[in-house]
Amino acid sequence: MSCAFHIEKKFGSARLARLITPHAEIETPVFMPVGTVASVKAVPQETLEELGAQIILGNTYHLYLRPGVATVRKMGGLHGFMSWRRAILTDSGGFQVFSLNELRKVNEEGVMFRSHLDGSSHFFSPESAMEAQIGLGADIIMVFDECTEYPADAGRARASMEMTARWAARSKAYFEAHKHEVPWNIEPRPQRSDLSDACGGGTDLNGETAGAASEPQVPRFARNDNFHLARDSSRFQGQDCTQALFGIVQGGMDRALRKESAERTIEIGFPGYAIGGLSVGEPRELTREIVESTLEHLPKDKPRYLMGVGTPEEIVEYANLGVDMMDCVLPTRAARHGLLFTSKGKISIKQARYAPDAGPLDPNCGCRVCQRYSRAYLRHLYASNEVLAQVLNTIHNLSYYLDTMKKVRGALASAGG
């Protein structure tokens, strides 16, 4: 079992569920902050924990370039490297096939990238992307896909979708042959008498001193965390505890292609399915339409992950449509650019009108930032180009997103009596 998905309640199309991964149980619907280079920009891990982030993203392409998979692996995988004990999902680099279009060349075998860091050439294939993701050791990893650009004509969308389907099969084949090579398994920590270790060590929640001398490079984790390793729970005991590889549906903006992509991906068989290739420039209404129609073709009993969305309103909407997982750079990036999401709409904190505003950013928000700092101060920090502006803005935006999802879960829990 690579992951388990227990639906606790359904309401309309929406589902309240628990996704059990090697490092954590995740309550869904869930919003996943993006931490491309093993860092959710401007926010330290302990703050992410405080904010209630259950799972964060990392990016295979970026981490492969720097610091390199081998380095991360030696540190016990991403969890050890960045000292994050909850769940992690890595994107395969498929999105970079789309976003780095100036720096790459795609063919059937894979993608040749020119590094944006130093111009060096690197080749990514479904196999190498899997190898890298296994080495990074996230709880959930993604097939190597081609994120189809928008607009794409019918022929292009079909060809792209079909290649993604072939790449998905190759991804899975490689993964199945190598899935036990995760950092947690191949570099086992010394046996601990007090830890029944189905996954062979790696990340140690209890953080006592045993093993510290022999593997000093693997950080120990704080003890007072209310999350626990799912692999230690009864549901995982004695079972095969590996990463979960999710498939990705493409197909551009064509419903029929999306249906076909879903069917072909399901036929290959994955423990979870993502909807990719959206939020690439198409009108929002079209995004929603494609999401809704694609969801119809995905298994009801498996987690569904909508990649790369959205605004606070949109993530609520998608959760209600039956999406279980979402990620988006919008809250973190917008925060760094001075755009803050509040219960009363968007605020551009750089505007002069906030200079004398002594009130909180969002009077209805309970986050540390809104509890403590004024709009005037936040505006000043931004105008002064202070790093603290980025930190506080990002904390607020993430808090707002995470709370938004929490409310969705709360509403689902109490829905229908």
Considering the complex, what minimum distance in angstroms separates the CB of residue 28 from RNA?
Answer: 17
Q: Angle 13-228-326 (CA atoms, 0-180°, nearest 5)? A: 30
**Among positions 232, 348, 357, 411, the unique one binding RNA when judged by CB under 7 A:** 348
Q: Which of residues 369-388 bind RNA (CB under 7 A)?
A: 383, 385, 387
Note whether 40 binds RNA by CB under 7 A: yes
Total residues in contact with RNA, by rule CB under 7 A: 56
Whether 91 sits among the annotated catalytic residues: the reply is yes
**19 versus 40: smaller Cβ distance to RNA:** 40
Note whether 147 binds RNA by CB under 7 A: yes
Q: What is the dihedral of CA 257, 260, 261, 264, to 10 degrees?
A: -160
Site string for RNA, 84-103 (x = CB under 7 A): -------xx-xxx-xxx-xx
d(CA 198, CA 235): 11
Q: Name the one residue in this structure whose structure tokens are 């198409």.
A: 282
**Among positions 17, 248, 253, 402, the unique one binding RNA when judged by CB under 7 A:** 248
d(CA 409, CA 172): 32
Note whether 274 binds RNA by CB under 7 A: yes
Site string for RNA, 96-135 (x = CB under 7 A): x-xxx-xx------------x-------------------
Considering the complex, what minimum distance in angstroms separates the CB of residue 116 from RNA?
Answer: 3
**259 versus 337: smaller Cβ distance to RNA:** 337
Active-site entry in 197, 204, 327, 362: 327
**Among positions 139, 145, 197, 204, the unique one binding RNA when judged by CB under 7 A:** 145
Stretch that binds RNA, among 67-75, 142-150, 185-193, 223-231 (CB under 7 A): 142-150
**22 versus 94: smaller Cβ distance to RNA:** 94
d(CA 166, CA 174): 13
Whether 139 sits among the annotated catalytic residues: the reply is no
Considering the complex, what minimum distance in angstroms separates the CB of residue 125 from RNA?
Answer: 15
Note whether 276 binds RNA by CB under 7 A: yes
Q: Which of residues 299-338 bind RNA (CB under 7 A)?
A: 307-311, 314, 327-330, 332-334, 336-338
Q: Please state whether beta strands 87-91 and 55-59 pair in parallel, antiparallel, or not at all (unpaired).
A: parallel
Stretch that binds RNA, among 192-200, 236-244, 277-285, 292-300 (CB under 7 A): 277-285
Task: Name the percent of the chain in helix, strand, coil, to the closest 5.
Answer: 40, 20, 40
Considering the complex, what minimum distance in angstroms separates the CB of residue 391 from RNA?
Answer: 11
| Binding positions for RNA, rule: CB under 7 A | 34, 36, 40-41, 57, 59, 62, 91-92, 94-96, 98-100, 102-103, 116, 142, 145, 147, 248, 250, 274, 276-277, 279-280, 284, 307-311, 314, 327-330, 332-334, 336-339, 348, 350-353, 355, 383, 385, 387, 390
User: What residues act catalytically?
Assistant: 91, 327
